[in-house]
Amino acid sequence: MEELLTLSGSRLAEMIRNKEISSREVVDLHIDHIKRINPAINAVVRDRFDAARSEAKAADRRVRQDPPETLPPFLGVPCTIKEAFMLTGMPNTSGLVARRNNIARKDATAVARLRQSGAIPLGVTNVPELCMWMETHNKLYGRTNNPYNQRHIVGGSSGGEGAVVGAGGSPFGLGADIGGSIRMPAFFNGVFGHKATGGLVPNTGQYPMARNEALKYLSTGPLVRRAEDLMPLLRLMAGPDGKDPACVDMHIGSIADVHFKGLTVIDVEDNGKTKVSADLKAAQHTAAAYLKSKGAKIKKMKFSALARSFDIWSSMLSASDQESFNVSLGNGKRLRALPEILKWALRVSDHTLPSLVLAMAEDLFQLMPARTKKLVDAGMRLREELVSTIGSNGIMLYPSYSRPAPRHTRPLLTPFDFAYTAILNMMELPVTQVPLGLNAEGLPLGVQVAAVHGNDHVTIAVALELEKAFGGWVPPDIGLLKRT
């Protein structure tokens, strides 16, 4: 039975349809596993285990009564949902204390589509305060710990998702990404994550919500322990819902049409500003060498504009006229950041330090409109350069971060390192985070695989191929987890 905790959602669904195992058995197994690991990692912050068991019983009745070919694709398979998404009856606070009593009365679009496919949510998972930091911690739910080493971070903002999927508690989960919030947690926790082409999947039903151009910078997508789930989950979540104005009908190609012989691989080892650790560089080099052995053409390149990744990301996000972060942090009223930092120092603030620092920094961007416009223009030129260089039959390999998962609070010393993922949001490119084994410390390695707009199937095909070559997700030693 323990082997079921290592299988993909697609394989579990197949076994349930074929009556090799019941949904109730699969759901119970994952619930029991979450109960075992969650005291140590604090990933699931509110569960719906009783409702999930009832839904599993209903799924088993459908399996007994209906022909297998009529059943939805993920019938009876458990999953988890980032707390920033509405899930009926579950909290939807995004870690903001002022929203502690906010309970979702309906499902977000992506959640509804997962449930229509037969998937059974087990609960909601932790996020940083207002989803705006790479350390998943807030004053409502506390801190989430990495299943490979509890002293290390899980990333953000879909950090709880990355941790529970990485620990084997869920075959797949739902996240969202505006600066790496799917890909960083996937990387730090050793699993796969996909940031779709901008506008492919509706973002409806999240809090906080992007506006204007940023609706295409924000991307809803899956985190999975096995790569074969990426494409079916993407297909069922994609397409307009009539509510997200940025989401459009877009053709999704077939993985079967992707051929590695002649594939162009643009290998970019760093952004020219932030150093990348030797183990991550070696892992990326190994991935490139493998693709070359399959017939791909490798081109090692640098893009000078990537050195300004953080400045471009923050300027393009600011120019898209988002709701003031200060106002969001104050739950509708402008927060006075400096007095709140003094309260934080006295340990009486409801907010986390990264959120308060970001609130102070927000005002600085508004004082420099000319600089912002210049950087937005640089971002648009970089987008054109990347698209023309990668081409319709190519991918780009790019580091997922500066190093494997750092220790808790360490990102405060290097706050701009997330620019490795963030810049690709502004490019609106599809990107798949691919695990590449563990380093000498037992922490996950990985690489980002990016392609041009609409070529999500290409990055996912590469993820599947690299999983075959390097093994993909390596389950952590749960026996080493200590209850906190």
Q: Which residues are catalytic?
A: 82, 157, 181
The angle subtended at Cα 173 by Cα 172 and Cα 174, nearest 5°, is 140
Omega before residue 22 within 30° of 0, cis: no
Nearest to 197 by CA among 387, 404, 400: 387
Residue 261 half-sphere exposure toward CB, CA atoms < 13 A = 0
**How far is the C-alpha of 219 from the C-alpha of 322, rounded, in Å?**
16
**How far is the C-alpha of 149 from the C-alpha of 480, rounded, in Å?**
8
**How far is the C-alpha of 128 from the C-alpha of 378, rounded, in Å?**
30
Q: Most distant CA pair in the chain: distance in Å?
A: 65
**How far is the C-alpha of 186 from the C-alpha of 444, rounded, in Å?**
9
Angle between helices 337-345 and 353-366 (to 10 degrees): 160
**What separation, in Å, do the N-terminal and C-terminal C-alpha atoms of the chain show?**
27
**How far is the C-alpha of 53 from the C-alpha of 76, rounded, in Å?**
10
**How far is the C-alpha of 274 from the C-alpha of 261, rounded, in Å?**
32
In SS3 terms, 252-280 reads as CCCHHHCCCCCCEEEECCCCCCCCCCHHH
Q: Which two tokens stand for residue 86?
A: 């509405």
The answer to whether 411 and 262 are in contact (CB under 8 A) is no
Strands (E) in 126-186, as ranges, are 137-138, 142-143, 172-177
**How far is the C-alpha of 480 from the C-alpha of 195, rounded, in Å?**
31
What 3-state DSSP class applies to 447?
strand
